[in-house]
Amino acid sequence: MKILAISGSTRAASTNTALLHTLAKIAPAGVTVTVYHQLASLPIFSADQDAAPPPAVHTFKHMVADADGIVFASPEYVRSIPGGLKNAIDWLVSGDAVIAKPMAILHGSHRGDDMLDALRVVLSTVSSAFSATPFVRFALIGKSPEHVAELLAAPENAVQLRAFLRSFVALANPNT
Ligand SMILES: Cc1cc2nc3c(=O)[nH]c(=O)nc-3n(C[C@H](O)[C@H](O)[C@H](O)COP(=O)(O)O)c2cc1C
């Protein structure tokens, strides 16, 4: 099973990207988690380019089409979804790859509920298989990627992250 893990942050030291890398590390045999944190490489969506998208968009769309499910982790910017992440989702709307794609959200902050609400609305609009659960959040704001990895290795956090992944795999692939 292939999971695409999309980070809404373009920061090199992003806590949300680090969270997704940890998800990739704990994936059990048979489950591959690929982290996508190249939102900055996607040009601004243009309907005029939708039929023949630029190479970076083409690659992104292919990764989405190829995945059995998508997990998002994003910061809140100005009480909403970061523009880069919304832009990436806009590029997906015209294709059929996302229509029934299983999707869920992980969150690297104890804040950001306006972004979470907005992202839930957007994802449930683009996919009939978006699910608000499983969902898990960790208070990671301001931590370095190394510190994020350490915190998530703590038993009480590791257990929650593993449970999230187990539930998402079951959601995306009911035959497992
Ligand atoms: C432009 C900008 C706007 C932000 N707006 C908010 C906000 O509205 N609410 C909030 O809780 N945090 C806000 N933050 C803080 C980020 O959400 C927070 O630092 C987050 O952990 C960054 O995630 P990252 O480490 O994955 O990049 C903002 C940060 C930036 C750079």
Predicted pLDDT of residue 159: 98
Q: How many CA atoms lie within 13 A of 35 on its CB side?
A: 21
C-alpha of residue 90 to centroid of ligand 1, in Å: 21
What digits encode the pLDDT tens for the residues 7-18?
999 999 999 999
Identity (one letter) of the amino acid at 11?
R
| Strand duo 2-7 + 32-36: pairing | parallel
The residue with tokens 């988690």 is 33
User: Residue 18 CA: which ligand 1 atom is closest?
Assistant: 26
On the question of pLDDT at 176 being above 70, the answer is no
Q: Taking a C-beta distance cutoff of 8 angstroms, is the pair 141, 115 a contact?
A: no
User: Residue 80 CA: which ligand 1 atom is closest?
Assistant: 8
Q: Taking a C-beta distance cutoff of 8 angstroms, is the pair 144, 75 a contact?
A: no
What digits encode the pLDDT tens for the residues 103-149?
999 999 999 999 999 999 999 999 999 999 999 999 999 999 999 99
Predicted pLDDT of residue 1: 97
Instruction: For ligand 1, pick from 76, 119, 138 the residue to mutate: most ligand atoms within 8 Å of CB.
Output: 76
Ligand 1: list residues with CB < 6 Å. Answer: 9, 11, 14-16, 75-79, 108-109, 111-112, 141
Mean pLDDT, the chain, integer: 97
What digits encode the pLDDT tens for the residues 55-81?
999 999 999 999 999 999 999 999 999
User: Considering the entire predicted model, what is its pTM?
Assistant: 0.97
**Terminal Cα-to-Cα distance of the chain (whole angstroms):** 10
Dihedral sign, Cα of residue 31, residue 128, residue 122, residue 88:
positive
User: Residue 76 CA: which ligand 1 atom is closest?
Assistant: 17
Tell me which of 3.40.50.150, 3.40.50.360, 1.10.510.10, 3.30.930.10 is the CATH number of domain 2-44+55-172.
3.40.50.360
